[in-house]
Structure 1
């Protein structure tokens, strides 16, 4: 088996831009493996979970093929409505699970007690597992609960978990999600995290305490406070513009964090203008002003229109009124409808 490694699911039903074939392939010889790898590495794979242009594949996972008698889907996630984890299991795993989600069996359980004998007895009866087969099933479920709790997981998904003709069980693929709020407890785990190229700025910003979210527009924002960020985005949209980001420098902004904010926006080739909207009640505006001047100097001046309250810098537009500032940046970027 040759599997494309990308940060998206649906690889089995996906298609490569190179040859139109799947992101998961069975090969029977070194020659076929080489041909498949050549058409996968460096090419884009398009699935129902990737952007329209797909994601470039730089890694492959190669493993021996296994004869499959049955495919199962097994997952543990957290049900926020019931404040407890839930076990999801189906005998129709693999690439069809998304279209057959109605066949999922759900079992809620208290995390401190794990999956009890009542649930495992029902699973055995429902899916026809023999007594010898229940030993590995019980072990798998026990280990999943242990991992779910120990690593602050929000999703552990085995798909497919397969039964071979010899009644052995193998996990052929898995997907794990972990709680971002638990990074301080799971530092080694999150240190292994891989990110898409467009997520690097978000990661670098978070390291400095900035809240950065990439959006689809071309007007960059630098604000302080999540509420003000949302209001700024809404007002720009009201005047016919579209924001390129949600960038909240927070109440603890420093010259270093402001410089990083400008650096992120300066690297974004989509941005045609920047709106700086700072509420003086939670951060010193003189420090913000000094940071803006320093950023302009380090970048050789602003290459796009910047709207803010007061300065003598070239290409920097003064507008103390929030509504007029949003309208002006939209007009300056030519985005007004």
Structure 2
């Protein structure tokens, strides 16, 4: 069994080996809270890195966002609505008062449009000031998601890189952020893959602005087991459940919202992976441990979601040095 990590947004300057180590170390911390260790060799961990493709966007993200919105005001390109709707939804999830922001800046309801760069820029700047993003750039993340969902050339380039690092051996996928959308498409388009379980963490597919470009959300034939989606109730990028079903198997996406992350930035992959419950579920998937019954699984999940923020003294010093933000 192999473990495949698929990242999303990453801070500039991070390379594949460094990111793989950060993800692996975070998972090890989560496992140590259950007295467990990583049940596979480091060579069986695949980090599907497409950072160069994202890096090509990063150099022009600020300028490109502005130009894209301004040009859409002339050409009326409706796909640019993704940019506005994504920012508006994340702003609301982050607890921002949209009416107050608009009134303080003299922007009437009719001008709160995806075609108005002044309004879109105001959402960007307000989010940057309000939310704790650490090294996350909300501008870059917004542009990356927009390009992935609206540009098939960029999307195919990402898929090619990710798939070149995968094979037909049985594997468990752990994805994060944009990487969850990448994993979803990769599984749909490649039925030869043998994925026993998919864990999506901090997945933005629950946002209406994103899901509208993906509907209907389906199960891939390459996914042989469960799709388990974890989202922290304080993560504005992934606050909502994902709906979707496979008509043939009647499989459902297993959504689990709770208080999982103890990092300052609640979208942080480290915060998800070093969570005791999430790490244990990944361990069970890798070792083929017998799944819990549905009722026991849900009760166990709720228990750890409630107590994990306070049940943290053991290993806290170890965790202190490992708070980081990468996507």
Task: Compute the TM-score of the two structures, normalised by the length of structure 2.
Answer: 0.24
Q: Which has the higher contact order (CA 8 A, sep 6+)?
A: 2
Mark the structure with the bigger radius of gyration: 1
Report the structure, 1 or 2, having the larger strand content.
Answer: 1
